[in-house]
Structure 1
């Protein structure tokens, strides 16, 4: 599928991932939260029926994992029912829906997960994102749900920037060494979407290669990091110990260390 020949709509176009998707689809119609409230069903149906896109890429989400515990209704509206509204609208106009879900739909009791494994989220964020997956499947057949993990990108707040900032403010930065996942560069993810459009409907795992703990990830970014346990660093939302997604249906992307190297050069320009 040639990017220039499809009429794409990107929802959540000003976010970290959305910004890189806009670079990948320069001719897309781009909508931010100010332009479209995905929790408003009538607004979603009206906008998508008016635009009549071939492909809708939904990068809008409420991603504050701890915040979701305090704002559960908002989390379920934005991450759960909102994607369902988009899916219904896509079905009406015959558009393909690409939607981003999360590794946090799993409970972390296994070392790794493939696309067909049964979700069992242990926090509100994961529960709300799983509801989004379910609502999409209920409302359209032509969808690509992409589960992603540990995103970092130039256009938003992320773990890399947090580490760099804390490194200058503290003598030692404590980071947990008992939660494992796959860091993923938003540019690599955005570049992979055209491949996904060619695949059959369903759920896909897309991450950079390489498994690490948050501590190992931090160690690749700053020098003054020290390991700690999750018990030493309590958070409002429970995190899965292992949220390692296996890309079993697509060609693997480069290692996260190689992607991080590119990111660091890009941010230092």
Structure 2
């Protein structure tokens, strides 16, 4: 069924969007230049003209600290934009797949399942939670996929930052008191194909295995040194434990195996 349905990918030029386009090569691929999801009329008109069966929204403003500086942009892209896409999907009778974040939670628990109550502690998390709510308000046939600690070949990510800093600095300080699940965009893109045929709702999809940012870094470089969040202050407060538990579908592979593949891939 999936191979014959008409699919649209929004945010096709981003890190996740690029890998989604490889998994859905026949999809209508829309970059930010081709569709700005903050413009309601443009979104409704574009989706209406294409008349797809499935819309995958990978467009987002993911700069966590940047969201603190530009609240308007954060809520326009991450909050209202997904609602406009959901409205357009409702009009077209299309399913919607949307990617949210572990940062909708406050980090006060060791792990979070899909039914846990969100309580974001930064503007990025607040804007992404609004996006979830707007989708649910406007559409019944949605799949909201919460993801965490994304890395991939086609954008800024933690792995590339660590590799760069490792060459520039004798020691790279990395916090050891924030925990989550690193997730490879290639694995997530392939899993998304499976998600289309699952029932509507909220899903937690990550690679398996929990680690701190320091433990993640130590698998990438050999000169990482641990520090506390207090020693490495950031503009946006981060949840200490943003571990997402997947209770609804089959698990993906361990993040270390995925990271090995990524590191091999980037050398070829």
Q: Which bin holds the TM-score, normalised by the shorter protein?
A: over 0.9
Aligned to 1:42: 41
- Shift, 1:2, TM fit: 2.8
For normalisation by structure 1, the TM-score amounts to 0.99
What's the RMSD between the two structures over aligned residues? Answer: 0.5
1:14-68 Cα distance to aligned partner (Å, 9 max, x none): 1000000000000000011101110100000000000001000000000000000
Separation in 1, partners of 2:6, 2:28: 8
Aligned to 2:2: 2
**Residue 103 (1) aligns with residue 107 (2):** no
Separation in 1, partners of 2:13, 2:194: 23
SS at match of 2:230: coil
Aligned to 1:221: 220
- Shift, 1:195, TM fit: 1.3
Separation in 1, partners of 2:93, 2:30: 19
Aligned to 1:32: 31
- Shift, 1:6, TM fit: 1.0
Separation in 1, partners of 2:194, 2:169: 43
Aligned ranges for residues 188-267 of structure 1 at < 5 Å?
A: 188-267=187-266
Aligned to 1:54: 53
1:218-256 Cα distance to aligned partner (Å, 9 max, x none): 000000010000000000000000000001101000000
SS at match of 1:121: coil
- Shift, 1:111, TM fit: 0.1
- Shift, 1:200, TM fit: 0.8
Separation in 1, partners of 2:247, 2:187: 17
Separation in 2, partners of 1:226, 1:76: 35
Aligned to 1:90: 89
Aligned to 1:187: 186
Provide structure 2 residue ranges, at least 5 long, that are not aligned to the other structure. Answer: none
Separation in 1, partners of 2:152, 2:108: 28
Separation in 1, partners of 2:162, 2:192: 29
